[in-house]
Structure 1
Amino acid sequence: MPKIPPLLVAFLLYAGPALAADPLALSAKADQMIARGDLAQAVDELKAATSLFPYDEGVRRKLAFTYTEIAKRDLQSGHFSAAAEHFGQAHELLPASAELGLMRGIALYLGKDYAAAREELLQAGEGSEPLIYLGKISYDTGDLPGALEVWRRAKGKDPGNKTLETLIGKAERELPVESRMDKGYSSMFDLSYDAELPPGLSAEVLDALESAYNAVGADLGVFPTTRIPVLLYTKKDYSSVTTGPDWSGGLYDGKIRLPVGGLTRVTPQLRAIIFHEFTHVLVAELTHGNIPTWLNEGLAEMEGRKEFAPPLPRFGAVQGKHVLPLTSLSRGFAGMGGKEAWLAYQQSHAMASFMVQRYGWYAMQQLLKYLGERAGIEEAVAKALSDYGLDLDGVMREWRESLTATAAGDGAN
């Protein structure tokens, strides 16, 4: 029997597995991993397959698909920069896919990387969706005329798009007011204000905003790096622009909007509103809007009342067991009448204050983090308070017990 040369033996040992494999077999193995949800492992398998078969289109498409699925998970979890990276990796594999470029642009926009998002979206074509997001970038960065021009162009391509109708209508209400506004700036805030407002008020507002940035940021554990737009209105202009309820003292809808007509300086009440609205900025940054209204408003009330606390009786002493259900407090308060809204804010403040005082700011930060990862409020509470063995029902039970104790203490006095 002829002796096999040692070099050939080594070749067979090391190259044998690669020779035995084929793209279909490797792709099928990756499919099993994908079906199990092991996307990272599937990526490793498919990357190895592409190195073995670099010209196999099926393997490349499967790898691009897997990156896309990971990116979708990232989006759901609020990890926008990671989503943009994974969409970008998929796009490199399939450069002809305009949809992958669009998705990367959207992820960059959601992560507030506006320059990179604009560059990506400009490559995504003239469809209505990339134009919507290009308009949003202009809107968010203070270029209202530019946003309107892009959205109107998109409307011409997609006349029945209701989202565009809403965006254009909102921008058209704001433009006549904002076009006559003056500008002011601080380290993190871009301020627009009515030219008729008293001189010096804008500087005081910027000072209050910077104080809120530091104080509320320390409580919630986040300090935004993207500049924050703030607008000061006369009361009449505020009402026409926001179409909010009569009792509204401020609004955050991606921009902080404050009615300051008649004021010559920042009063304690206005300072409280500034801290309240800035809290909404940070809560939106942390949760991406996935938060029940009672917790959002409760935290904002907590921060605002540190600056100015109205002389009100303790919530428990007034309400006792007659509290609003969480279901009604989880939706927006804007549709409520003044009396009901007042009660909703009071109860929201009482619940949020109880949670921070009982469980601490770190637990609240964790709760907001889990909400930002798209957990429901029940799941987020259970995770954040796992050391206490509490779920949302348990927290509400402890809160109601605290009301009873408060009422009993007031009665004894």
Structure 2
Amino acid sequence: MLPLLALLLLASDPVVHGGGAVLRSACSTDADTVARLAEGTAVQVRFSISGDAGTCYKVTSAWQAGYVLASELEGLESYRAGLRNASELELPKMLRAETARLKEEAGERPGANEVLALIESNQPRLALRKMESALQRDGRKDPLTLALAGLAAYRSDEPRLALEYWTESQALAPNASVDALMSKARAELAGDTSRNKLRGYRFVLRYNSDEIAESTAAEVLSAANDEYARLDAALGCELKEQIPLVLQNQQAYRATTGAEEWSGGQFDGRIRVVLFRQAFQREARQAVTHELVHACLTARGRFPHWFHEGMAMRWSGERPAAADVASVEGLRTPPALGASPDQARIFYTWSWVAVDRMYRRMGEQGVRDALRNPASVTASMGN
């Protein structure tokens, strides 16, 4: 699953400190005023950033967006704890939010923006090579460069290297978002036992040979190659780098990702799939295809979460129950995706129905044409 919203919607929103706050257009005391927020106003934090005025938070409130000084907010402890304890549903959001934060801080720096564009288009290894060249050339003294190298390393399935870069970045300029990602990377290193590798043309498959036979891993790799060829012909995946494909049992998967019990796969730049009973069965093949659709769509641009999930279900052959389809017929906007199986089922059902309607209305070629313009999907159906 790949939530595309950059917002980190956490359980307890910070509020404006006594005396009110100024919503600014940038992280600077000289920035233009967007609005004035009254004491007690709840805000939703997108990410934190260091600017001329110290630490600021990019927030939204009452449909307005801007920057608020850290000193003007209360309840940030809950926000930071939420970052540290975010579930598997939040990890892709965390990565998106960190990318957005780095974009803000990079400003007009062409090298940084080039690397961020590579990361967003599923080319993290090329991004990492560019960052390592920059660090060798310019030294390891810029926290933004080090944080960007950490993000590229993490997306390249190199969490240990990511931790090294992030640790150096934090020593220069601490940031709550980076701290949260470091916690995720540490948990991943502690829980991930998939050390054995098989390499194919499109994938680097990792697995634990003590739990999964090499023949089973090879079967998964072959199926992934077949599914990629099918999806590329239908959707135009345009993947430019090999994708890490990680096979795990359910215990290791949950320990590594913090996933909910109903989750059987994840895409965060890497595909993770649960193999039940260490066998490659129909459900696991569907999970590989489901997450591969996310990879294909991510390479094409930014699409709404519901579109990602509806497309992933359609192309992996998943179909919701008729009773669930009937239950969402009257919903015009996507229901919230929560942690419970019931909430997940309703969200995924609505997403499948929305995509099915698109195909009925536009046809196969019409939907493929829409993939060239992600904004048209959002404009036509909402997000």
TM-score (norm. length: structure 2): 0.64
Q: Distance in 2 between matches of 1:135 and 1:128?
A: 10
Superposed CA offset, 1:148-183 (max 9, x none): 111111111122x01211221111011123366211
Q: Distance in 1 between matches of 2:333 and 2:254?
A: 29
Does the 8 Å CA contact 2:303/2:378 hold for their aligned counterparts?
no
What is the SS of the residue equivalent to 2:371?
A: helix
The range that moved more, 122-131 or 186-195, is 122-131
Q: Offset of 1:325 from its aligned partner?
A: 3.9
After superposition, the Cα gap between the structure-2 partners of 1:178 and 1:274, relative to the gap in structure 1 and judged at 3 Å, is: same
Gaps of 5+ in 1: 1-96, 382-391, 394-413
Identity, % of aligned positions: 24
Larger Rg belongs to: 1
* 1:297 has 2:309 as partner: yes
Letter in 2 for 1:158: A
Does the 8 Å CA contact 1:250/1:256 hold for their aligned counterparts?
yes
Q: Distance in 1 between matches of 2:377 and 2:359?
A: 16
Q: Distance in 1 between matches of 2:322 and 2:133?
A: 54
Q: Distance in 2 between matches of 1:325 and 1:237?
A: 38
Alignment: residue pair count: 271
Does the 8 Å CA contact 1:297/1:349 hold for their aligned counterparts?
yes
For 1:369, which of 369, 372, 381 is the aligned residue? 372
Please, what is the CA RMSD of the aligned residues?
2.7
For 2:181, which of 167, 170, 176 is the aligned residue? 167
For 1:319, which of 321, 327, 347 is the aligned residue? 327
After superposition, the Cα gap between the structure-2 partners of 1:245 and 1:152, relative to the gap in structure 1 and judged at 3 Å, is: same
Does the 8 Å CA contact 1:131/1:154 hold for their aligned counterparts?
yes
After superposition, the Cα gap between the structure-2 partners of 1:223 and 1:314, relative to the gap in structure 1 and judged at 3 Å, is: farther
Superposed CA offset, 1:298-340 (max 9, x none): 00000111xx667x33765x3374x3341435xxx3x242122
TM-score (norm. length: structure 1): 0.60
Aligned to 1:6: none
Does the 8 Å CA contact 1:231/1:256 hold for their aligned counterparts?
yes
* 1:207 has 2:215 as partner: no
Does the 8 Å CA contact 2:191/2:255 hold for their aligned counterparts?
no
For 2:261, which of 246, 249, 257 is the aligned residue? 246
The range that moved more, 266-275 or 362-371, is 362-371
Structure number with the bigger relative contact order (C-alpha 8 A, sep ≥ 6) is 2
What is the SS of the residue equivalent to 2:262?
A: coil
* 1:353 has 2:333 as partner: no
After superposition, the Cα gap between the structure-2 partners of 1:304 and 1:110, relative to the gap in structure 1 and judged at 3 Å, is: closer
What is the SS of the residue equivalent to 1:262?
A: helix
After superposition, the Cα gap between the structure-2 partners of 1:378 and 1:347, relative to the gap in structure 1 and judged at 3 Å, is: closer
Q: Distance in 2 between matches of 1:109 and 1:348?
A: 26
Superposed CA offset, 1:199-247 (max 9, x none): 1221111011111111111121223121101111121111121112111
* 1:219 has 2:229 as partner: no
Does the 8 Å CA contact 1:230/1:256 hold for their aligned counterparts?
yes
Q: Distance in 2 between matches of 1:177 and 1:244?
A: 12
For 1:328, which of 305, 313, 335 is the aligned residue? 335
Q: Distance in 2 between matches of 1:214 and 1:155?
A: 42
Gaps of 5+ in 2: 1-106
Q: Residues 26-105 of structure 1: matches in 2 within 5 Å? A: 99-105=109-115
Does the 8 Å CA contact 1:220/1:361 hold for their aligned counterparts?
no
After superposition, the Cα gap between the structure-2 partners of 1:270 and 1:105, relative to the gap in structure 1 and judged at 3 Å, is: closer
Does the 8 Å CA contact 1:104/1:120 hold for their aligned counterparts?
no
Q: Distance in 1 between matches of 2:190 and 2:147?
A: 21
Aligned to 2:116: 106
What is the SS of the residue equivalent to 2:313?
A: helix
